[in-house]
Amino acid sequence: MALWSWWLSSFALAAVPIAHWLFLNRAVAVSGRYSALIDRIRFGAPRDGSGEMDQAALLEALRAQTAADFGDDAIEETEPSGESVDETIVRSPQGSIAHLLFLAGLALGGAASAMLAGSFSLRGGLNGDVFASVVGQLGIPAPVLLLFGGLCVGFGTRMAAGCTSGHGLCGVSQFQTGSLVATAAFFGAGVGTSFALGALQ
Amino acid sequence: MYTLLKLSGTLKAWQSRYCCADYKECARFKLSADNRRVPINLMPNGAYLRSNDKP
């Protein structure tokens, strides 16, 4: 299988979050879209109306609510600091169709790339000779292993509040400490697993 | 929500009532502990901020 050169892969990866931001004005978050879809299925569409409000409206409503609960004295004078609420958290969430289109695009893009490289094939087994040979000795069916792996990924991404796209592509590019730590953990675990598999083979 | 509270000058009131005292009664904490999305406009007391809110 022919692999892209490292520099071409780097540019392609960097183009993904940049294009996503330019076209949608949102950070890329694959696991976030999965989570949003699951939340929509579990709890229905959000009815909180947060997407209808801008920062000024939120601040005004917040002061009114505070005065009602604690009295006017609870509100302190503030000086303009130039600080603002992250635009992404006051914007209305995207609908399920947008999430589904994005996730379908991932699958179609991967399939198109494999087809162009002439390596497209559908198979139910494990990909990777070393991994298959090591875990094959355990006698566990491949679909069970894949399901277990998927559950581990889902658990980890919810626990870390993001996956390789959110932390690795977007968080790291913004020098966010949590994303730097999370990405180091992703790749560190990958390298460690690779060495462990090599030793077990 | 933290930034909103800070910018609006209401942080101390909510912190002393919920964060530093009855945090288990905080509506935001409850949702988060239940692994559910916490809306930006959900107040610790369970009320939703809306642009036409009146005291």
Residues contacting residue B49 through CB under 8 Å, at least 6 positions apart: A50, A53, A58, A61, A62, A65, B41, B42, B43
Residues contacting residue A67 through CB under 8 Å, at least 6 positions apart: A74, A75, B55
Nearest CA in chain B to A70: B13
Share of chain A above pLDDT 70, in %: 85
- Look up tokens 């400490």; give the residue: A177
- Top residue of B40, B42, B43 to mutate, by most chain A CBs within 10 Å, is B40
Instruction: Give yes or no for residue A66 having a pLDDT over 90.
Output: no
Give the tokens for residue B25. Answer: 């009664």
The partner residue sitting opposite A52, judged by closest CB among B37, B42, B51, is: B51
- The mean pLDDT of A42-54, rounded to a whole number, is 64
A135-159, pLDDT tens digit by residue? Answer: 777 788 888 888 898 899 889 888 8
A9-21, pLDDT tens digit by residue? Answer: 889 888 988 888 8
Shortest distance, CA A191 to any CA of chain B (angstroms)? 30
B29 occurs within a structural domain: yes
What pLDDT, on the 0 to 100 scale, is given for residue A85?
Answer: 59
Residues A53, B13: C-beta atoms closer than 8 Å: no
**3-state SS track over chain B:** CHHHHHHHCCHHHHHHHHHCCCHHHCHHHHHHHCCCCCCCCECCCCCECCCCCCC
Work out the pLDDT band at A192, boundaries 50, 70, 90.
Answer: very high
Nearest CA in chain B to A32: B37
Share of chain A above pLDDT 90, in %: 13
Nearest CA in chain A to B17: A70
- Does the ipTM exceed 0.90? no
Q: Is A112 helix (H, G, I), strand (E, B) or coil?
A: helix
Give the tokens for residue B45. Answer: 């007391």
- Answer whether A79 touches B (CB < 8 Å): no
A49-59, pLDDT tens digit by residue? Answer: 555 566 777 78
B38 occurs within a structural domain: no
Host domain of residue B28: 2-33
Instruction: Give yes or no for residue A41 having a pLDDT over 80.
Output: yes
Q: Which residues of A19-30 are buried (b: 16+ CB within 10 A; e: fewer)?
A: ebeeeeebbbbb
What pLDDT, on the 0 to 100 scale, is given for residue B54?
Answer: 42
Instruction: Specify the number of domains making up chain B.
Output: 1
